[in-house]
Amino acid sequence: MPVLTYREALNQALREELERDPNVLLIGEDIGAFEGAYKVTAGLLSTFGPKRVRDTPIAEEGFVGAGVGAAMVGLRPVIEIMTINFILVAMDQIVNNAAKMHHMFGGAVSVPLVIRAPGGGGHQLAAQHSQSLEVWFAHVPGLKVLAPATPADAKGLLKTAIRDDNPVMFIENLALYNTRGEVPAGEHLVPIGRADVKRAGRDVTIVAHSRMTLLALEAAERLARDGISAEVVDLRSLRPLDRATVVASVRRTNRAVLVEEGWPTFGVTAELAATISSEAFDDLDAPVERVGGAEVPMPYAKVLERRAMPSVDDIVRAVYRTRGRA
């Protein structure tokens, strides 16, 4: 199977979907000649032209709303937001318009729209460029929220998202773009709303999404050397959330460590902890452990930034806490 970077996998998905369906178009700042701030759209302008790879001014509210409007009348726009931090000025269009319309208008209209945006920290970009805001969207009925961790899932989920008739938030992560993995060539579709057990194990369940899945896998590797068998569940989709896979895993391992890069307060791990406590309470041998980003605006200095982000060590320690050893 071909090995691609996460970036190349996304690019392949976009290219294939642009080829497949003339209603698909890309909209975003500097996605044409500049090829995207992170080069995800490299080469697409020259193949598909400026009508289908449409550069926009710096007007996130305007062009996100335009994407919603175009989707209402049957196009399938894929919008790139340079980084998720800039999406805040377009929140109204996403939350009040895209997410609401199908229901608010009695099912008369749908919004087949994908909004791609990378989040995450680790590049010394400081407080305004390092956030993980996926839970803001996962909170909202009417939106779907995806956050793949591997190149194969990135390709398969993006293709599925583009074919979905609902607004889909597709959350990437800056630190994943250069990661590599096997990616099936051609038609490869990953269903929305299904978590994936990325590593099977018996003793503890580690649940993560996006880049934290890679850290969880590293932690599992390290734990294996200590004779601890950790299962890693990659959520892939935050809304719809595959609670069943998480609960089934915890019922087998009897321990859960929940990880997210963003602030854990009211976060993904909070939602999962609530689910586990109501659906697997009697199966737990230890309190649920959570690992998340430090609750501060991301600082610039390398030492501070490193300290503020979840690490493999943090995950390993959390696993040990579920076993009564800190």
Which one among 19, 21, 92, 182 touches another protein, defined by CB under 8 A?
Answer: 92
CB-nearer residue toward another protein: 77 or 292: 77
Look-up of token digits 């460590």: 257
Q: Is 189 in the site for another protein (CB under 8 A)?
A: no
Q: CA–CA separation, 137 vs 135, rounded Å?
A: 5
CB-nearer residue toward another protein: 25 or 298: 25
Cβ neighbours of residue 25 closer than 8 Å, sequence gap 6 or more:
18, 51, 52, 53, 54, 70, 75, 76, 77, 78
Nearest to 251 by CA among 234, 275, 276: 276
CB-nearer residue toward another protein: 53 or 176: 53
User: Which of 17, 35, 60, 305 does the annotation list as catalytic?
Assistant: 60
204 in Cβ contact with 253 (< 8 Å):
yes
Q: Is 67 in the site for another protein (CB under 8 A)?
A: yes
Minimum Å gap between C-beta 26 and another protein is 12
Which one among 4, 14, 25, 87 touches another protein, defined by CB under 8 A?
Answer: 25
Q: Is 142 in the site for another protein (CB under 8 A)?
A: yes
Angle at which helix 44-52 crosses helix 6-20, to 10 degrees, equals 50
CB count within 10 Å of CB 245 equals: 19
Nearest to 97 by CA among 136, 135, 67: 67
Q: Identify whether 60 is a catalytic site residue.
A: yes
Cα–Cα distances in Å, from 7 out to 53, 74, 152, 310, 314? 17, 28, 11, 23, 28
Task: Choose the stretch contacting another protein; rule: CB under 8 A; options: 88-96, 149-157, 260-268, 279-287.
Answer: 88-96
Q: CA–CA separation, 243 vs 139, rounded Å?
A: 15
Q: Which two structure tokens, joined as six digits, stand for 269?
A: 């791990």
Which one among 51, 225, 295, 303 touches another protein, defined by CB under 8 A?
Answer: 51
CB-nearer residue toward another protein: 107 or 324: 107
Q: Is 21 in the site for another protein (CB under 8 A)?
A: no
Q: Looking at residue 285, what DSSP letter applies? A: S
Q: Is 86 in the site for another protein (CB under 8 A)?
A: no
Nearest to 36 by CA among 61, 16, 8: 8
Q: CA–CA separation, 44 vs 114, rounded Å?
A: 17
Q: Which two structure tokens, joined as six digits, stand for 224?
A: 């294996």
Q: Which of residues 243-272 bind another protein (CB under 8 A)?
A: none
Coil vs helix vs strand at 121: coil
**Number of residues located near another protein, criterion CB under 8 A:** 46
User: Which of 8, 17, 29, 129 does the annotation list as catalytic?
Assistant: 129
Q: Is 33 in the site for another protein (CB under 8 A)?
A: no
Q: Is 160 in the site for another protein (CB under 8 A)?
A: no
Task: Choose the stretch contacting another protein; rule: CB under 8 A; options: 69-77, 230-238, 264-272, 292-300.
Answer: 69-77
Which one among 40, 53, 70, 298 touches another protein, defined by CB under 8 A?
Answer: 70
Q: Identify whether 129 is a catalytic site residue.
A: yes
Q: Is 284 in the site for another protein (CB under 8 A)?
A: no
Our separate counts of H helices and E strands in the chain read 12, 14
Cα–Cα distances in Å, from 277 out to 103, 246, 272? 31, 12, 9
Q: Is 101 in the site for another protein (CB under 8 A)?
A: yes
- Catalogue the active-site residues: 60, 129
- Positions that interact with another protein (CB under 8 A): 25, 51, 56-57, 59, 61-75, 77, 89, 92-93, 96-97, 101-112, 141-142, 144, 164-166, 193, 240
